[in-house]
Amino acid sequence: DAEITQSPRHKITETGRQVTLACHQTWNHNNMFWYRQDLGHGLRLIHYSYGVHDTNKGEVSDGYSVSRSNTEDLPLTLESAASSQTSVYFCASSSGTGFAEAFFGQGTRLTVV
- Residues 47-106 binding other proteins (CB under 8 A) are 48, 50, 58, 90, 92, 94, 96-102, 104-106
Contacts of 87 (CB under 8 A, 6+ apart): 36, 37, 38, 110
- Size of interface with other proteins, in residues (CB under 8 A): 26
Q: How far apart are CA 9 and CA 68, in angstroms?
A: 21
d(CA 89, CA 75): 12
Nearer Cβ to other proteins, position 47 or 80?
A: 47
Is position 107 an interface residue for other proteins (rule: CB under 8 A)? yes
Question: Which residues are near other proteins by CB under 8 A?
Answer: 31, 33, 35, 40-45, 48, 50, 58, 90, 92, 94, 96-102, 104-107
